[in-house]
């Protein structure tokens, strides 16, 4: 197994002063079988305006990393800094989009999006005006008064995205936000994310297990090993921007997918074998 | 044809009313044919005919208002103390572990049997009846409020945490609205228990509103009048439920 953290060879974003610095992160969980190291010595940086994808097999600690950076998980070694400031808990500079459906079912689209502005204490007229802008940004004009139950899964994830963006975070964390959607919707929503990122120059960290999605959206991709999660390789994605989902048919795209899969395959196989042996052991217990 | 009818917004209500009318006619027919004894179940036509009599002679309206007022008072108390109790059990794990089984046991207990004790404490008056309703309705509201709060999806709580909400904001902006549908299930259950006990205690202690009237009419073997008075109890129940539904729609317009 090769564990190589390659420096970014990409132009502007990676060379700028990083806005997010994760240094030597180690997180262990107590389990009935003893302590389990979920992430082990993970270090990464994200430059302003950069889109960093984090990819790895199931059980590599991607979501643990997401929760630590977002300030939802404590009791770890190492540091997380945003704009030089150490993060110890939820931070206003970090916005989070979750894998599960997370809109508030009792609030309309506009009220969902205006939620962080309401918490910030903005007057009603101002927060609705700003919320409308973000609703429009995610392409949901005309659905402001609808409730989440009246929307499709993809639309609901766009509401979540607009709600996070409305808080104007410096960094947007996304934890497999399109995992529950079909492939076509996922590609089209990827287009929407690209368009928004282009427009807002939004620094984004995307956690995913989907190689196509990672290559479609990212400037760099950090490949993680199976448990314990370490940085195996960082791949620069030198595909032209602005991008659309049409890029998936290009030859260069295919090469990146193949390259990342060759890195991931070994890890995914290890994960699969580990799952099987754990299931077997569990079955043998009296 | 059926497909077109199903799309009509009035069809479900018309179907419900039509079914009820058909049932009433069937009962009337069965009594007419002597299949059902008219001294056990009065003919529906007699019940309808009894309405003007119990309105004018038995002062049913003032009794109805008294029972409705008692039900409303008990509902308000059940809601305030039941929801607050559920929130307390949610906030303090030790308290929940210590008392949840007891509360569940109280919900299943025949509390109406405590009416002699309440008579001693509060006297033979409306307070006893309201307190009996309150006691009977409290446990389900506590339990369902707790269930709603505990069942709030983790991701919604995490959204609140990611926006750095204060504990108070986390409760009022996320936990409480997320739990509301379950809280209202508890309230409906609690109000059913409260109403049954209110009318039951009025009947038992022969005091106050519709329960006492039903007792009087039953003792006079005025079966048609008894059933007509029961219709007014149902009306109280409908009014309380409509108010609960309005309140729920107002607090949580969708979801």
State ipTM. 0.87
Distances (CA, A) of A197 to A48, A171, A183, A245, B25: 11, 11, 21, 14, 69
**What domains, with CATH codes, occur in chain A?**
1-93+169-237 (3.40.50.300), 103-168 (no CATH)
Mean predicted confidence (pLDDT) in B106-118: 90
Q: Could B178 and A149 be called an inter-chain contact, meaning their C-beta atoms sit closer than 8 Å?
A: no
- Using CA of residue B253, residue B83, residue B155, residue A94, what is the dihedral sign? positive
Q: What is the pLDDT of residue A10?
A: 41
Residues 144-203 of A with CB under 8 A from B: 147-149, 167
Q: pLDDT tens digit string along A246-256?
A: 888 899 999 99
Q: Could A106 and B180 be called an inter-chain contact, meaning their C-beta atoms sit closer than 8 Å?
A: yes
Residue A100 contacts B, CB cutoff 8 Å: yes
Percentage of residues of chain A with pLDDT beyond 90: 61
Q: What is the pLDDT of residue B73?
A: 94
Contacts with B161 from chain A: Cβ below 8 Å: 71-72, 90
Of B159, B161, B177, the CB nearest to A106: B177
Q: pLDDT tens digit string along A197-222?
A: 888 889 999 999 899 999 999 999 99
Q: Specify the pTM.
A: 0.83
Please, what's the b/e burial string for B91-102 (b: 16 or more CB within 10 A of its CB; e: otherwise)?
eeeeebeebeee
**pLDDT band, very low/low/confident/very high, at A114 (cuts 50, 70, 90):** very high
Query: Domain map of chain B by residue range?
Result: 2-41, 50-251
Q: pLDDT tens digit string along A219-238?
A: 999 999 988 899 999 999 99
Residues 59-98 of A with CB under 8 A from B: 70-72, 89-92, 94-96, 98
Q: Could B163 and A119 be called an inter-chain contact, meaning their C-beta atoms sit closer than 8 Å?
A: yes
Q: pLDDT tens digit string along A25-68?
A: 999 999 887 888 999 999 999 999 999 999 998 888 999 999 99
**pLDDT band, very low/low/confident/very high, at A105 (cuts 50, 70, 90):** very high
Q: Could A96 and B164 be called an inter-chain contact, meaning their C-beta atoms sit closer than 8 Å?
A: no
- As a whole number of angstroms, the distance between CA B91 and CA B101 comes to 17
- CATH code assigned to B50-251: 1.10.3720.10
Contacts with B151 from chain A: Cβ below 8 Å: none
Q: Could B162 and A100 be called an inter-chain contact, meaning their C-beta atoms sit closer than 8 Å?
A: no
3-class secondary structure for B204-229? HHCCCCHHHHHHHHHHCCCHHHHHHH
User: Mean pLDDT for chain B?
Assistant: 91
Please, what's the b/e burial string for B159-186 (b: 16 or more CB within 10 A of its CB; e: otherwise)?
bbbbbbbeeeebbebbbbbbbbbbbbbb
Mean predicted confidence (pLDDT) in A87-105: 92
Residue A242 contacts B, CB cutoff 8 Å: no
Q: Could B162 and A101 be called an inter-chain contact, meaning their C-beta atoms sit closer than 8 Å?
A: no
Q: What is the pLDDT of residue A182?
A: 84
Mean predicted confidence (pLDDT) in B177-192: 93
């Amino acid at each position: 197994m090769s564990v190589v953290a390659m420096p970014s060879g990409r132009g502007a974003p990676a060379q700028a002063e990083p806005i997010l610095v994760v240094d030597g992160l180690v997180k262990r969980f107590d389990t009935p079988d003893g302590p389990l190291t979920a992430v082990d010595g993970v270090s990464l940086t994200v430059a302003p305006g950069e889109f960093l994808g984090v990819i790895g097999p199931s059980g590599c600690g991607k979501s643990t990393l997401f929760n630590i950076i977002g300030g939802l998980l404590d009791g770890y070694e190492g540091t997380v800094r945003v704009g030089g400031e150490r993060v110890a808990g939820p931070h206003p500079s970090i916005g989070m989009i979750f894998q599960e459906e997370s809109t508030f079912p009792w609030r309309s689209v506009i009220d969902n999006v205006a939620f962080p502005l309401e918490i910030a204490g903005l007057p009603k007229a101002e927060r609705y005006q700003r919320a409308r802008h973000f609703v429009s940004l995610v392409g949901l004009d005309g659905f402001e008064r609808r409730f989440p139950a009246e929307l499709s899964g993809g639309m609901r994830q766009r509401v979540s995205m607009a709600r996070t963006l409305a808080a104007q975070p410096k960094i947007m964390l996304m934890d497999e936000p399109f995992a529950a959607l079909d492939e076509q919707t996922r590609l089209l929503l990827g287009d929407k994310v690209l368009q928004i990122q282009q427009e807002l120059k939004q620094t984004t960290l995307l956690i995913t297990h989907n190689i196509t999605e990672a290559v479609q959206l990212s400037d760099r991709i950090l490949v993680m090993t199976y448990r314990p999660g370490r940085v195996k390789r960082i791949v620069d994605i030198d595909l032209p921007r602005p991008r659309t989902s049409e890029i998936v048919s290009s030859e260069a795209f295919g090469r990146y997918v193949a390259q990342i899969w060759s890195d991931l395959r070994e890890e995914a196989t290890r994960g699969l074998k580990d799952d099987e042996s754990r299931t077997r052991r569990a079955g043998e217990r009296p | 044809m059926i497909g077109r009818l199903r799309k009509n917004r009035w069809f479900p209500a018309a179907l419900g009313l039509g079914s009820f009318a058909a049932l009433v006619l069937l009962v009337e027919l069965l009594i007419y044919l002597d299949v059902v004894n008219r001294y056990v179940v009065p003919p529906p036509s007699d019940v309808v005919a009894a309405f003007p009599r119990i309105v004018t002679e038995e002062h049913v309206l003032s009794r109805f208002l008294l029972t409705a007022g008692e039900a409303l008072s008990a509902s308000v108390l059940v809601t305030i103390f039941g929801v607050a109790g559920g929130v307390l059990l949610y906030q303090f794990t030790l308290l929940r572990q210590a008392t949840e089984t007891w509360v569940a046991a109280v919900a299943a207990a025949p509390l109406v049997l405590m009416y002699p004790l309440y008579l001693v404490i509060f006297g033979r008056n409306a307070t006893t009846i309201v307190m009996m309703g309150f006691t009977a309705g409290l446990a389900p509201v506590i339990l369902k409020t707790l269930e709603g709060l505990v069942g709030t999806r983790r991701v919604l709580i995490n959204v609140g945490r990611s926006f750095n909400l204060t504990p108070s904001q986390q409760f009022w902006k996320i936990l409480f609205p997320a739990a509301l549908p379950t809280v209202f299930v508890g309230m409906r259950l609690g109000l059913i228990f409260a109403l049954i006990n209110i009318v039951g205690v009025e009947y038992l202690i022969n005091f106050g509103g519709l329960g006492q009237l039903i007792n009087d009419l039953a003792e006079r073997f005025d079966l048609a009048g008894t059933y007509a008075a029961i219709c007014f109890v149902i009306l109280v129940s409908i009014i309380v439920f409509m108010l609960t539904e309005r309140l729920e729609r107002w607090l949580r317009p969708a979801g």
